[in-house]
Amino acid sequence: MANQCLNVLMVSTDEDADALVRFRQRAQDPTTPAAVLSFNRFVPVPEDQNGSEYEWCQHNWGTGRDAYDSWITFSNERTVMFIFITRWHPPLQWLRSVIAEFETLEFTLQYVDYTLPRCGVVASSWGRVLTEAHSGVSCCG
């Protein structure tokens, strides 16, 4: 069984509530109503790719599969918080793409993988990563 990485993504804004609405609407895959967050909706897997889909996802999302078991734990007009699972790794490359696209939103991703163990946090503001910290055994203690 693959390692599972628990991810908590908080997306917020003080100035651009419309961008937050657009992000939340785009996050959900209409073909899979239970999936409230799909990486493929932001950085789509090309239909005519060369090589394996898994390798493409690893390179462009940072994890080999889309988010699963995703849900929204908190939402208001300025903040939305997603919890989701990924396989093996957090979606760091995907997050960097989304940060660049939605510059007026602030993103904070916290993740933990109890199997390896490892954890980390990435935070951004105005389209730039401000904090990126990753840890090994000591984070899960």
In the numeric block, which tokens belong to residue 45? 């897997």
Q: Which residues pair with 128 in a beta bridge?
A: 125
Tell me how far CA of residue 13 lies from CA of 4, 16, 97, 105, in angstroms: 29, 6, 18, 5
| Residue 57 CB partners (closer than 8 Å, separation 6+) | 39, 45, 63, 64, 65, 66
pTM of the model: 0.90
Helix 92-101, helix 53-61: angle, nearest 10: 60
pLDDT tier at 21, thresholds 50, 70, 90: very high
Taking the C-alpha atoms of residue 14 and residue 60, their distance in angstroms, rounded to an integer, is: 29
pLDDT digits (tens, 9 = 90+) for 72-130: 988 898 999 999 999 888 999 999 999 999 999 999 999 998 777 788 999 999 999 99
Kindly report the length of the chain: 141
Complete domains list, the chain, with CATH: 4-139 (3.30.70.1270)
| Residue 75 CB partners (closer than 8 Å, separation 6+) | 24, 81
